[in-house]
Structure 1
């Protein structure tokens, strides 16, 4: 499954990059395929392992912020692997054909 999520530390001021980086550090240390952009971090793996990493990331932010908001969007498609890159490659292929 692919899960895109965004964690927002609340009550730490406007500059949240340092606190958010703690969540990204957890994701990268997990060893699961992932990518981070300006709005979300996407992680790929099995349900239990992905959700465990997201919980650890939320917990890491909660250690530094009095309140944490987060959004999760998931795509569960059994039997599909490498969705993190293959979905983008498919769109790029269609864009190249036009």
Structure 2
């Protein structure tokens, strides 16, 4: 599965990069395929391992705020591996046409 998620500390002001970096460090240390952009981090793996990483990322943000907003979008498709790369490759092929 692929999960795209964002973790935002609430009440921490406009500058949340340090808190977000703490979450992204957890994701990168997981060893699972992942990508981060300006709005979301996407991570790919089995359900339990992906959800465990998301939970750990939320925990990493807790020292920055008493309240945290988490948004998760999941694409759970049986039998698909390397979905992060394959989806982007398919998009780029269509853009090149």
TM range (shorter): over 0.9
**SS of alignment partner, residue 3 of structure 1:** strand
What residue in structure 2 maps to residue 37 of structure 1?
37
Q: Work out whether 1:84 is the aligned partner of 2:84.
A: yes
**Structure 2 unaligned spans of 5+:** none
**SS of alignment partner, residue 53 of structure 2:** helix
For residues 40-55 of structure 1, the aligned pairs below 5 Å read: 40-55=40-55
CA RMSD of aligned residues (A): 0.7
What residue in structure 2 maps to residue 94 of structure 1?
94
TM-score w.r.t. the length of structure 2 is: 0.97
**Structure 1 unaligned spans of 5+:** none
Deviation at 1:63, TM superposition (A): 2.2
What residue in structure 2 maps to residue 26 of structure 1?
26
Q: In the TM superposition, what whole-angstrom CA distance separates every residue of 1:37-69 from its partner, at most 9, and x where no partner exists?
A: 000000000000000000000011012211100
Distance 1:39 1:80 in 2: 24
